Structure 1
Amino acid sequence: MEFDFLKPIDSDVLDKIKKLSSQQLGSKIVFHTKDQFPDLNKINIAVIGVLDNRGSDSAFSDVDLLAIREELYGMFPGNWDASIADLGDILAGNSIEDTYFALRKVVSTLIKNKIIPIVIGGSQDLTYPLYRAYDELEQMVNLVSIDSKFDFGKENGGKPATSYLTKIIIDEPNNLFNYCNIGYQTYYNSQEEIDLVEKLFFDGYRLGEISNNIALAEPVFRDADIVSLDLNSVKSADSGNFITFAPNGFNGKEICALARYAGISDKVSLFGLFNHNNSIQESVLIAQIIWYFIEGYHYRSNEYPFGSRENYLKYIVPLEEETLVFYKSDKTDRWWIEIPFVSNGSNKLKRNTLLPCSYDEYLGACNQELPERWWKAQRKNIV
């Protein structure tokens, strides 16, 4: 069985949780212990640790998640009603491929059971088996990474954590419909990589763009299936990571806001956090990031998948060469733009679909500006 790969929660963690008050999060979570495995029919969100960072150049040979769990479960939850379970840890396999296999099997089963996994790694190459977990669902996948780098490195050179995206793009079956990077820093990425993002009609937002207007990220998460967070995208002053020193990056408030956007998205079905440096300071931040993701989950509006569009206000915007159709939700005031179906025998979209967008993109269209994300999605549909 897939869950045989999971090691139960350590007894010393459980002993500390028993001392918490009934109001704290640890008293409201179901744990995988040596005597009991949670009933998944009653679970909405599952926390999983992966104790393998062989894919990176980490100074630590071991991954220690003890401090994260202690900090997270000592917090007080919001007005939450979802059932949360901590399923324990996947140990490092004999090879990194063994770890990939175990993670893929566990996550695939959870997703098929409509349970959202929160995966705490390990190195970021673990994003690859998370992506492969969707193979059995036979659906196209949208991946969003919060990262200062694109991770397009060569597969045969360097570590997998810096080249996992290349593996995702090249390996069959190719189920990746869109990739978006949030927070890349130009000086960490070659011009070749930046050009490749454009060539593949992927999306990238520089750190400065998001820091100046963090709401730009909300429509991106609304269209994501997987969110992969590299903790090196947070500046060291806020993360406490002085081993892989990052003078620039997201601050604690911004990274928690992004996690909340990911949680509030009706479509996000998997959240991963990677490259933890084992420091106490970063453990506190990770716990808060997870808290905000769960908080966002509890404010989902259930507008995806779309049923009838009768509850949306429809706006038709004629441009010189296109006629754009926008929809605005009367429930949340959020916006979508229609991507028309183009029948060419090879396109990835099988029907007209709605792409999340912002009010500013609607205003731009009213001023005869074609939204860039619409254009890229349309190109992927045609090519």
Structure 2
Amino acid sequence: MHDLESFLSHLHFKDLIRSGAYKPLQMANTITALRNGNFDFEQADIILLGCGERRGGTFASSYSDAPNAIRSAFYELYNWYPNIEIADLGNLVEGASIADTKAALRIVLDTLYTAGKIVILLGGSQDLTLQQYEIFKQHQETVDAAVIDSLIDLEDEEACSDTSFLMEMLTSHPNYIRNYSHIGFQSYYTNPKMLETLDKLRFDFFRLGTVRADMDEMEPVLRSCSLLSIDINAIRRSDAPFNPKASPNGFFGDEMCQLMRYAGMSKNMRSLGIYGYNPEQDSEQQGAKLIAQMLWYFVDGYRLRSLEADLSQTDQFLMYNIHFTDNNTVFLKSKLTGRWWMQMPDQSYIPCSYNDYQHAVNNEIPERWMREQERLL
């Protein structure tokens, strides 16, 4: 294992907390601080890591205090789940160049990935998503990835930035992206050619209005993902007055919390990044509080993953044999959580929703089934 201490700030957020500032059951007193040579994270389920690197974006300064601003709000929240071990690794130190910071970040993320930990990365600009992906690539592990963002960052630029990182992530070779899902894009900000590119790659994309009309349909999408990247530009201006780049339309704060809960429920989820928060513009700390609540809901979702049975435990599922349009398949419904799975022609099961089951019952091909079949072929 690498010596992580050389990559991390020697001043941990917990070192800034005065004695008695927080109550016993608040996150500040239940999160384990990994610092001063104490990097034993064996018992941790979820690890927080800050990286304020934003030279890949268009911010006034190169390094952000966003991770500590988010911590300040998150540490105030009450921990309802003391059996879930959360550890805080502190902040990555700023490199002499953006390449130095990203190289250090890859080393730290790889160490945590190898240890089997779930990492929540507090950014920073969204081009750091590439460092999340590089870890799966280094281990030659095929991954389902998702991005929640009002924009599709597929610009064709010479240097990788927070507006072009998807180009490298989705088209580089060798590539280990099995499926990519873009959640909440806004059509009037999106070049139609970008959607054509995603469609040719057999990737999925969901308009903001479509997602908001039926939020539950995003649960199966996030259930299959191992990597999730969130740009706070996805939040509408009324709920993100701290973000000068916010659109009048977007997700409400509670909707972002719902998506985070779905992400926490996923047994596949290994890497989560939250990007684009600018504390300099957040005079009332509303942005930090919103992101903190999103993190709380991720933990709330995480507790539910332990309640879900493995698909091999057939007695924990209701089985429905369905015939539709010359296809015979099986739908499974969990007795514990009510979630659905759908069998593909290769006998594998993929996450699905009740709506998919309803389409099959009505002799219609569920779109999720059709898209997955295209990828299998």
TM-score tier by shorter-chain length is: over 0.9
1:206-221 equivalences under 5 Å are 206-221=207-222
The 3-state SS of whatever aligns with 1:162 is coil
- Who is 2:290 aligned against? 285
- Who is 1:163 aligned against? 164
Contact map agreement 1:38 1:85 (CA 8 A) in 2: no
- Who is 2:53 aligned against? 52
Q: 2:117 aligns with which of 105, 112, 115?
A: 115
Tell me by how many angstroms 1:113 deviates: 1.4
Between 17-26 and 211-220, the greater mean CA deviation after superposition: 17-26
Contact map agreement 2:325 2:364 (CA 8 A) in 1: no
- Who is 1:363 aligned against? 358
Q: Could you list the runs of 5+ residues in structure 2 that have no partner in the other structure?
A: none
Q: Distance in 1 between matches of 2:7 and 2:41?
A: 16
What TM-score results when the alignment is normalised by the length of structure 2?
A: 0.92
Between 7-16 and 17-26, the greater mean CA deviation after superposition: 7-16
Q: Distance in 2 between matches of 1:38 and 1:312?
A: 40
Q: 2:22 aligns with which of 20, 23, 26?
A: 20
Letter in 1 for 2:86: I
Between 298-307 and 103-112, the greater mean CA deviation after superposition: 298-307
Q: Distance in 2 between matches of 1:365 and 1:9?
A: 56
- Who is 1:124 aligned against? 126
- Residues 141 and 372 of structure 1: CA distance in aligned 2, closer, same or farther (over 3 Å): same
Contact map agreement 1:219 1:358 (CA 8 A) in 2: yes
Q: Distance in 2 between matches of 1:111 and 1:306?
A: 25
Q: 1:334 aligns with which of 330, 335, 339?
A: 339
Tell me by how many angstroms 1:228 deviates: 0.6
Letter in 2 for 1:326: F
1:1-383 equivalences under 5 Å are 1-3=2-4, 4-10=6-12, 13-16=15-18, 18-33=20-35, 35-64=36-65, 65-156=67-158, 160-278=161-279, 279=282, 280-301=285-306, 303=308, 306-341=311-346, 352-382=347-377
- Residues 112 and 26 of structure 1: CA distance in aligned 2, closer, same or farther (over 3 Å): same
Instruction: Kindly report the root-mean-square deviation, in angstroms, between the aligned alpha carbons of the 2 structures.
Output: 1.9
The 3-state SS of whatever aligns with 1:63 is coil
Q: Distance in 2 between matches of 1:307 and 1:8?
A: 46
Tell me by how many angstroms 1:215 deviates: 0.8
- Residues 242 and 144 of structure 1: CA distance in aligned 2, closer, same or farther (over 3 Å): closer
Contact map agreement 1:142 1:224 (CA 8 A) in 2: yes
Tell me by how many angstroms 1:172 deviates: 2.7
Q: Distance in 1 between matches of 2:309 and 2:113?
A: 16
Tell me by how many angstroms 1:97 deviates: 2.4
Contact map agreement 2:198 2:204 (CA 8 A) in 1: yes
Spell out, residue by residue over 1:109-154, the C-alpha distance to the aligned partner (whole angstroms, 9 max, x if none).
Answer: 2122121111000111111110111134332100011111121111
Moved over 3 A (4+): 8-14, 301-311
Q: Percent identity?
A: 35
Q: Distance in 1 between matches of 2:274 and 2:124?
A: 8
Spell out, residue by residue over 1:44-88, the C-alpha distance to the aligned partner (whole angstroms, 9 max, x if none).
Answer: 111001120111112443311332111111111113311111101
- Residues 289 and 8 of structure 1: CA distance in aligned 2, closer, same or farther (over 3 Å): farther
What TM-score results when the alignment is normalised by the length of structure 1?
A: 0.91
- Residues 355 and 322 of structure 1: CA distance in aligned 2, closer, same or farther (over 3 Å): same
Report how many aligned residue pairs link the two structures. Answer: 370
Q: Could you list the runs of 5+ residues in structure 1 that have no partner in the other structure?
A: 342-351
